[in-house]
Each structure stands twice: as C-alpha cells, then as structure tokens.
Amino acid sequence: MGNAVSIKDLARKFKCAPSTISRALNDHPMINIDTRKTIQEYAHKIGYQKNTISLSLLNKCSKTLGVIIPSISHYHETAIIEGLEAILQPAGYLLNICVTNECHALEKEYLNRLYANRVDAICISLSQETFDHSLNEHIDLAISRSMPIIFMDRFYHESDVDRVITDDFKGAFLATEHLIHMGCQRIAHLHGPKGITVSQQRFRGYQVCLKKYGREVDDELVKQVMFSPESGIEAAKSLLDQEIKPDGIFAVNDEVCFGAMKVIQERNYKIPEDIALVGFDDIPLSAFGPIALSSVSRKSKKIGEQTAHLFLSKMNGMHQHQQFTLEPELIVRESSQRNHYS
Amino acid sequence: MGNAVSIKDLARKFKCAPSTISRALNDHPMINIDTRKTIQEYAHKIGYQKNTISLSLLNKCSKTLGVIIPSISHYHETAIIEGLEAILQPAGYLLNICVTNECHALEKEYLNRLYANRVDAICISLSQETFDHSLNEHIDLAISRSMPIIFMDRFYHESDVDRVITDDFKGAFLATEHLIHMGCQRIAHLHGPKGITVSQQRFRGYQVCLKKYGREVDDELVKQVMFSPESGIEAAKSLLDQEIKPDGIFAVNDEVCFGAMKVIQERNYKIPEDIALVGFDDIPLSAFGPIALSSVSRKSKKIGEQTAHLFLSKMNGMHQHQQFTLEPELIVRESSQRNHYS
DNA sequence: GATTCAATTGCAAACGTTTGCGTAATTTTT
DNA sequence: AAAAATTACGCAAACGTTTGCAATTGAATC
C-alpha cells in the first residue's frame, strides 16, 4: 500500500501546484474549467482516490464511529449493527466494531485504541465485568478527553450521558401480564446475570406486574441463568424438579427460552397448555421453531438507528445529552397463546 | 474532539522540541533518563494518547482491516468476526465492518471507502448481486491499486487470489452420505441461491454423492430457496405436496432446515423416522431446538482465524497468494439419527 | 588550554490534503 | 494608454508524529 497515487504525483504530472489539483478535484469555483476537466479525467482514469487519513488529520474528524459491544453472537447485537449501518452508511461513515466478550480489560483496551484512532464518537454497551465491579474510570477518562460516548442498552450513569435503551421494565411487565391473562397461576422467571441492567429491569417488571395482580413473588420460581440455551436447560430442569412447578415461564431471553422449551418437551409437558412460554428479544428463529415462541421484541434495529441519529445530531453540534427509551412490543405466538382467558 | 493534547502541547509545556517528547514517550535510548521519566509521568497524568492518524499517514499503515460481508444476521458471519477479532485484537488491529445486504452498489461503495481510508487489507465475501451479474471491476480496481484482498467463502477468481473457504462440496457429500446410511431412499435438497459458490458446491456434493451410491438425482426433489426459514417453509410445503415425497432432506443451511422442520411437524410426519433432516452451518440453536438438528459445521470461527493469520502473514511481507480450504464436520443429532442402518 | 568524544537535544522534512493569501496574467473600464 | 478589476494559479502553513542529521553542551583526554 505504499505506492498509492497522491495529489503531489498529479501535480508533477501536470506541472502545477498540489493546490491546483486539489481545487480541480473538488470543483473549486476559482479554477479554469478546462484544466479542471483534464485533471479530473486523468485522475479518474488512473484510479486516483483521495487519502482520507490526511483529511482526518486536517479536519480532526475521521468519519468513523467506534462501536464496543460485549458480544456479537446474538440477534440483538447484529440488529443494532444493521440499524447503525442503515443510517450511517449513507452519511459516509464507517464503523469500527469491537467485541469485548464481556471482558473489562478488553473494553478498556478497545476504548483507548478507538480514542487513539480519533473516532468521532463511541457507542458502547458495557461488559458484564464492568458492571460487576463498577469499573468506570475508563469511561470517565474517555469523557474527560471529550470523546463523545453514547450508551446502548447497558449504561451506568443515571444522567448526564447520551443513551438509547429499551424499556425492559415495560417489556417484562407486558410479558408477565400476558401470562396472567392466559390463566397462568405460577409464573416462573429465568433471571439473567445479576449485575446487568437489562436483567434487573426485566426482573423488576416481572415483580411489579405480579404484585399489581395480587400475586406473591415466589423465590423458588426465580432461577438465575446466563444468556444461553444451556443455561435455560439447567434452570428448567431445576424448576421442573421442584414440588411447585410453574405453569408459565417468562425468560430473560429467547435463547434461554429455547433451552427451557427443550426440557419441557422432553418431560412431556404440553406447550402452552401445561406451561406457557414467553421469551425476550424476538430473535428471527423464534417464529420458525416447531413451536413458535412468544417474545418481547425490543426493536433491536431501531436501537441502532436511534443511536445513529443521536450520533449525527451530536456531530451537528447538539451538545445537550439525549436519552431515548424505546417501547418494546409483545409478540404473541403459539408458545403462550391459550384459549383460556382469565 | 478538537482539543486533544498533542506532542506539541507537551513540547510547549516542557519548553523543548516535539522530537524530544516523542523520544521520551517512545523510550528512545538517546534521551536523558530523568527528562524521559518526567515527561512520561506528566503525559500519563493528563491522559495524553498518541494520535494514530498521524502515524497512519507517516507509516502508510493504518492498523485496520476492512471487512465486507453480505449480511451479519447469521451465526456464520458473526463467528467469522469473532475469529478475526480473536487473532487481530492482540496484534493491535481494529476492524472496519461493512455489511452490503447482498447489494453490489453498496459493496463497491464500501470497497472504495475502505481504500480511501487506506485500510491495510480488505477481507471480503462477495454479495449475491456481484455474483449474479459477474461484476468484478471494483475488485480489479482495488487490486490494481495494490490493496490486498482476501476472499472469505464467496470468491470468483479461480487462482491468483488469497482466500479462505470451507470445503462445501465435502460437507454436502458427508451430509448426503449420512442420510443414505440412515436408510433414506428419496433424499431431497433445498438448494441455495444459484449464483453463489457455496450453494453450487453443496449441490454438487449432494449430486456426486447420490451418483456414487447409484442413485438418480431427481429434479423434483431439488427445490430452490433463499437463506431464510420462510423460504424453507415454502420449499418444504412444495416437497410434501408432491406425489413423490422425500424421506430425507439435506438443506443448504440451518435456517432453511428450521423452516422445513416446522412444516414437517405441522403435517404430522415424524422426524427422523419419516423424514430425516440435515442442515448446514451448525448454528448454536440447532442443538437446542425441541428436535436437535443434525448439521454440517463449517468451522465458521476458524475461517475468521485463518483469514486473520493469512492477513498477518501478508503484513509480514508474504507476497505469494495463499488458499486455504477448511474441513467441514458432520454433527449428527436427533433430526437424522435413526437406528436403521443400510 | 586546546581537542576529542559522548550524551542530549533541536531542526526540518516527510506523510497527503486543504485553504487563506499573495501574485501574475489577462481583461475590462476609464 | 493607464488604471482597475478579474481570473487563475502558486506559496506556505497546518494537522500530529517520527527520524536522520546537525548542533549544542559538558566532560574527559592530551
């Protein structure tokens, strides 16, 4: 890559100053129309392409957005990326995507590397380790360097930050309420990793809904899981091994729910008659499994789009912090649709 | 981002030349040990971080890899990204990820934008449109600009390029052979989009295997699909509406297979007794659906890792083109495991 | 006390591009 | 024909960093 043709090369070729070439290529008004045409044609012919690195240096603007996410293996994250790209590609931006695997050290390292590269802003969904140990110096450092930070999903500051999140509380509330409406008496919850905001909010939605309908929150019906089907399997087994078995399960996400579904079917319970199921995230496959899964859609792509818009507004000089909370939507399918209404 | 502290600011502060600061920060041997220490400590204190954009300009090396993929919503692509990151993060690289949505114009645009940003190389999996219309001038342009291009999965040049692919032919062969061993007599194939290499190779593996075992390839048992469950549903319906119904299906990928599975269950055929199923890609959920899906794993993460190694070797001066073909592996689960062996 | 040597530091160019200002050449106006 | 205005281009600095070479300093040697 050391032999790319530059504006200086063109200047030599045309025996003129680099500035003339620059003006010709940028359709500057104060340039002779013939020289402009000649230069443009020649530049196009030999495949000249502006080196945007020098522009980044000059303009202190790299036309690049840094994205730090804990994982990229779930629908939610990829949909966010799709949403970001849908808005930012037409705006001329590129995305630097960094996956932390829930590791704080990596998050810190990436944050620094993105700053070194002077990306125009960083969108971040915090890692679990960052949460668990309330580690936030790296974020504070980035902010003190006046790097714009936009939180997606997982944030820790209560105010004074830009963020785009889903109303997980409401989503969980809707899911639980739906199970109540379907006549479920003993609604279990598969609770996500503790430190993470989304897990907490979903659990809270579940709790508050039960209380609103006069139900007790039974600790035996709340199991801790990771965001994986394996974990859902374990938790479901433990639920079904208990004396008090659930007749409805609200899981922290769809992967967990798939795991639970497998166990339930293996033990010959019927879905949704014996046990109704509702997941979270509305992953594409949830509609196409042998039993279509009910799920709370958190409009993942929209999170990306909204984040992109927030970012663009910041680039346009909006200095006030903005916080968006998107509305989730309950999608009812076979796994929870009963004819029995209470 | 216009107020970042630079080496010049430090030079002013210490009343010395920028070069002294540079040498101090880089542990240059010819620098007084005390000044070095003082400068380093102060730089760390105020959070100075080298601007790598200027380094990119100077060294003609951006420590960034461009990645162009047709989609990011499937396991395969995200696993590739994980593989790339696993190797390239420790090596100090960042990834510019661009999703084309199978659109040629976008692919061309991104290719150009990545070149403008002077990424160190571009890994690309070609879009379907690029295939369908054999559009390759944009690739040729990039190559003529001496931008290193590494193909993943979907390529078009037969030689003289760097590439990392899976042996799709072999994977399809293994899947088909397995269905034959399971006693299937009428093995259908859900054939992916025509122009795409992987679809063609998988179809060829299916064909060659059938012929090897003395079976006819029945056109009625080969249905065209897109890479989606919806498409799998349609194709399965059309298969089951025919007079000659299959007793085994090899699908071009797992999503399609999930769609087919749904139809098969709705029509009360038993899996695997009436119809055995094998998919491709071994997506994580395939093991955890109510019926665990047999599938050909194409070691998606390994593709990313191998691509990363190929890239690094190119960065280290390896100029010869390298081509890697990874071995797929058949994972047998419930959906095809019969007790009947032929 | 003059010379040599080593240890530090400064200078300036380079990477590729843009842009304000100056200037030459050409045209228009008086 | 002289003055003014216009047109088109060049010069040089700037963005932040590195690095070969020159320069300075101080100490050691003759």
Ordered DSSP codes for B75-130: HHHHHHHHHHHHHHTTTT-EEEEEE-TT-HHHHHHHHHHHHHTT-SEEEE---HHH
pLDDT at A340 over 70: no
**Residue A339 burial (CB count, 10 A):** 8
Q: Show which residues sit with Cβ under 7 A of nucleic chain D.
A: A 15-20, 30-33, 35, 54, 57-58, 60; B 4, 6-8, 18-19, 22-23, 25-26, 50-51, 53-55, 57-58
**Residue B340 has what pLDDT?**
55
Per-residue pLDDT band at A195 (split at 50, 70, 90):
confident
B314-329 per-position pLDDT tens digit: 999 999 999 999 999 9
Tokens of B55: 């380094």
Tokens of A59: 């303009």
pLDDT at B341 over 60: no
Per-residue pLDDT band at B159 (split at 50, 70, 90):
confident
Q: How far apart are CA B108 and CA B161, in angstroms?
A: 18
A179 interface with B at CB cutoff 8 Å? no
H/E segment holding residue A187: strand A187-191
Q: Which residues of B fall within a CB distance of 8 Å from A230?
A: 288
Is any atom of strand C within 7 angstroms of residue B13's beta carbon?
no
Q: Which domains occur in chain B, in start order? A: 7-50 (no CATH), 59-166+300-327 (3.40.50.2300), 168-299 (3.40.50.2300)
**Residue A336 has what pLDDT?**
97
**Residue B259 has what pLDDT?**
95
Q: Which of residues 104-143 of B touch A (CB under 8 A)?
A: 106, 109-110, 112-118, 120, 141
Q: Which residues of B fall within a CB distance of 8 Å from A75?
A: 73
Closest residue (CA) to C1' of nucleotide D9 is A20
**Residue A154 has what pLDDT?**
83
Region B98-115: mean pLDDT is 97
**Residue B2 has what pLDDT?**
61
pLDDT at B298 over 50: yes
Quote the percentage of chain B above a pLDDT of 70: 98
**Closest alpha carbon within chain A to B231:** A288
Tell me, in Å, how far CA of A57 is from C1' of C22?
26
B161-215 per-position pLDDT tens digit: 999 999 999 999 999 999 999 999 999 999 999 878 889 999 999 999 999 999 9
A214-261 per-position pLDDT tens digit: 999 999 999 999 999 999 999 999 999 999 899 999 999 999 999 999
**Residue B289 has what pLDDT?**
84
- What is the average pLDDT score of chain B? 94
Per-residue pLDDT band at A281 (split at 50, 70, 90):
very high
Quote the percentage of chain A above a pLDDT of 90: 89
pLDDT at A271 over 70: yes
Per-residue pLDDT band at A134 (split at 50, 70, 90):
confident
pLDDT at A54 over 70: yes
Helix axes B168-181, B197-212, angle to 10 degrees: 40
**Residue A1 has what pLDDT?**
60
Is any atom of strand C within 7 angstroms of residue B18's beta carbon?
yes
B242-294 per-position pLDDT tens digit: 998 999 999 999 999 999 999 999 999 999 999 999 999 999 999 988 899 99
Tell me, in Å, how far CA of A57 is from C1' of D13?
14
Task: Name the residue with tokens 């991104």.
Answer: B110
Strands B121-124 and B329-331, by their bridges, are unpaired
Tokens of A287: 């509609």
